[in-house]
Amino acid sequence: MNQPRTYTRGMQRWWLRRPSYRFYLLREGTSVVIALYGLFLLAGMAALAVGPGAFETWRGLLFSPLSWLLHLVVLAAFTFHAWTWFKVLPLTVPPVKTRRFPRGFTDATLNRVALWAWGVVSLVILVAAMRGLQ
């Protein structure tokens, strides 16, 4: 017997079909920036281990105007990652843990707690850095 030949829509350029698909790709795309930033930090660490000359080269790059502009983009990517990460947090926390949460603790509460934690951690690091690195 012949299989019925039904129409199935192809997956060509699916990301153009809905804004939410492009949003998804943009969110996943932040991981490329995160990897590159990891490499940049690793280069700084390695330069530090090599010696003062190598580290000054890395630091010179960091202090260049182009680096400053690139870091604006990197900051935007990290912030977008953080915002979306805390947004989907209620979906990714294992149900075993969420069952132990008190009554009235909704997904929105979890999101709010995470955003507060983000703010507090950032502030603590900023203050510590401003005191320690002068």
Partner 1 sequence: MKPRSHEPIFWSLFGGGGMLAALVGPILVLIIGLLVPIGLGFGPEAMNYEQMRGLLGHPMMGFGLAILIALFFFHAAHRILHTLHDLGVHASERLKLICYGSAAGGSALAVLVALVLVLRG
Interaction site with partner 1 (CB under 8 A): 11, 25, 28-29, 31-32, 34-35, 37-39, 41-42, 45-46, 48-49, 52, 55-56, 59, 62-63, 67-68, 70-72, 74-75, 78-79, 81-82, 85-86, 92, 117-118, 121-122, 125-126, 129-130, 132-134
CB nearer partner 1, residue 10 or residue 104? 10
- The whole-angstrom separation of Cα 90 and Cα 107 is 5
Contacts of 91 (CB under 8 A, 6+ apart): none
Alpha carbon distances (Å) from 12 to 16, 17, 21: 9, 10, 13
CB nearer partner 1, residue 1 or residue 66? 66
CB nearer partner 1, residue 1 or residue 63? 63
CB nearer partner 1, residue 1 or residue 11? 11
Left, alpha or beta for 5 (phi > 0: left; psi -120 to 50: alpha)?
Answer: beta
- The whole-angstrom separation of Cα 49 and Cα 53 is 11
* Total residues belonging to the chain: 134
The distance of closest approach from Cβ of residue 10 to partner 1 in the complex, given in angstroms and rounded to an integer, is 10
